[in-house]
Chains A and B, each alone.
Chain A
């Protein structure tokens, strides 16, 4: 893709790089929309697994923050989602594929402070328009695609070596 060409945010990943590698471990979680009671459990489970695997602390923190943000996004905005978490030799890759309203303007949604959150979501401590940008900031690779009235898929990778730059 020519970087000078205007992109179609709905279809084009923001960072079209993809990490390749053998998958050493994989687990899938189902996240249910509006299930605030269990919001955060998948992120906690992944954090525990990565601790057991001896993943570096800083990388675990960045991935856990991204996972929790993505999980809460599903709970607040989507009907349901499948979260796939894959451990690669030097990185972790996470994919959230949700069924929901989709995002009409990804470029707008990726800007800090832009949000369609309800007062109830804000009362729960979320919905400040920081979620998607924060997922990207904490990732080394990040892509998002969305179709209105169908759903949104986000995919991100955190490298074990956190000094490797990336999507931030």
Chain B
């Protein structure tokens, strides 16, 4: 995850201590229903949805962290929950499209449930 932080000039909103966690794959969506239905575990969730439900979604789907795009920051409730359940939250000013493109160019793959 530390590599992602470097590639996208991320701020780390919480979970600094978990940045060595490997990112198995990436799943990008603003629709949490899609994450719950189609992502695999150990994915980095890339989203613009900053509500507490994004953290609940990442938690139940066993995501390794959340990357908020387009300069969006997690809500206070989302931040608190992420601390409680130990999910790192990253933010970047890159758009969803740019962030996915950069990560893909650097070897990260999409997450797809088998």
A residues with CB within 8 A of B: 36-37, 39-41, 43-44, 47, 57-58, 61, 64-65, 67-69, 72, 122, 124-131, 133-134, 137
Contacts and interface: CB of A to CB of B under 8 A. Distances in A.
B60 A125 contact: no
Given A36-B53, A125-B57, A126-B53, A44 B85 contact: yes
Interface of B: 30-34, 36-37, 41, 49, 51-54, 56-57, 59-62, 77, 85
A131 B41 CA distance: 18
Given A125-B57, A130-B37, A131-B33, 17 more contacts: A40-B59, A44-B60, A44-B85, A47-B60, A61-B62, A65-B60, A65-B61, A68-B36, A68-B57, A69-B33, A125-B33, A125-B54, A126-B31, A126-B32, A127-B33, A134-B36, A137-B37
Nearest to B48: A125
B92 to A, nearest CB: 19
B57 A47 contact: no
B60 A128 contact: no
Contacts of B41: 57-58, 61
B53 A44 contact: no
